[in-house]
């Protein structure tokens, strides 16, 4: 299944277009579906993408060294959120790392309220619209208007089953949530998604004994 020895299992959940070498890459999409979704990316034919249940992973308690999940948790429902974090606590070793990033909802809401209320067109996800960054008629990733990329940042791009946002996170929520589960935050930082888009919260948290 993985080239990693049993003592160093590392998981990359919701890997999408970002599979990582040395990790067990897990996603809803199969390799074929991933290639179709990201035609501009070069994805090796021998890459293994596993469709494991992220709420019931096939690993014993305390057997995983690291779990990564970038821009995935906002896609989980309220009930799924609890199941996910408790599953991470179950599979990670003491000292194991949970590394993830989520949109900074507080920053997004502030920017949305400050933007222009300038609706232009209904949503489109046909190939021409995607190629031209239609985003409700805005034709850009600009954050100057509410009814464009910023609305998709709130609710998800909604171009497939897994592309709906169902949850939200702030720095304060994450600190409280991880403390309740017995994780120690090793690093908390911020970055812009793809360098110039919405602000993300990045977390590295260590499972305590």
Per-residue pLDDT of the chain (209 residues; tens, 9 = 90+): 444 445 699 999 987 777 888 999 998 877 777 766 666 667 777 778 899 999 999 999 999 999 999 999 999 999 999 999 999 999 999 999 999 999 999 999 999 999 999 999 999 988 899 889 899 999 999 889 999 999 999 999 887 778 899 999 999 999 999 999 999 999 999 999 888 889 999 999 999 97
Reading the block at residue 58, the tokens are 């096939």
- Domain edges within the chain: 6-104+169-207, 107-155
User: How far is residue 180 from each of residues 8, 96, 115, 208, measured CA to CA in Å?
Assistant: 26, 17, 36, 11
Q: Retrieve residue 209's tokens.
A: 């004994």
Q: Quick one: tokens of 159?
A: 């171009």
Please state, as a whole number, how many other Cβ atoms lie within 10 Å of the Cβ of residue 65.
Answer: 16
- pTM, rounded to two decimals: 0.88
**pLDDT given at position 35:** 66
What is Dmax (Cα atoms) for the chain? 54
CATH code of 6-104+169-207, in short, is 3.40.50.150
Element (H, E) at 67: strand 64-70
Closest CA to 70 of 164, 187, 186, 203: 203
Instruction: Take residue 48 and report the two structure tokens written for it.
Output: 């293994």
Do 13 and 91 contact (CB within 8 A), yes or no?
A: no
Within 10 angstroms of residue 182's Cβ, the number of other Cβ atoms is 13
Helices in the chain by DSSP H: which ranges? Answer: 31-37, 78-91, 105-114, 127-131, 149-155, 171-181
Residue 99: alpha-carbon gap to chain centroid: 11
pLDDT of residue 27: 86
DSSP 77-113: -HHHHHHHHHHHHHHEEEEEEEEEEEEBHHHHHHHHH
CA 188 to CA 202: how far, in whole Å? 6
């Amino acid at each position: 299944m993985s080239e990693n020895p049993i003592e160093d299992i590392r998981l990359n959940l919701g890997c999408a277009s970002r599979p990582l070498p040395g990790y067990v890459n897990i996603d809803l999409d199969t390799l074929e579906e991933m290639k179709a979704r990201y035609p501009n990316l070069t994805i090796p034919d021998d890459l293994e993408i596993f469709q494991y249940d992220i709420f019931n992973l096939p690993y014993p308690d305390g057997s995983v060294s690291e779990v990564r999940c970038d821009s995935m948790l906002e896609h989980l429902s309220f009930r799924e959120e609890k199941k996910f974090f408790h599953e991470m606590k179950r599979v990670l070793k003491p000292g194991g790392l949970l590394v993830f990033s989520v949109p900074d909802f507080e920053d997004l809401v502030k920017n949305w309220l400050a933007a222009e209320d300038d609706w232009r067109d209904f949503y489109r996800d046909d190939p021409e619209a995607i190629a031209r960054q239609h985003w409700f008629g805005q034709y850009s990733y600009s954050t100057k208007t509410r009814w464009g990329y910023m609305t998709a940042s709130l609710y998800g791009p909604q171009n497939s089953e897994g592309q709906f946002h169902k949850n939200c996170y702030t720095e304060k929520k994450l600190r409280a949530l991880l403390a309740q589960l017995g994780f120690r935050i090793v690093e908390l930082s911020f970055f812009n998604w793809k360098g110039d888009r919405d602000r993300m919260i990045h977390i590295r948290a260590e499972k305590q004994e």
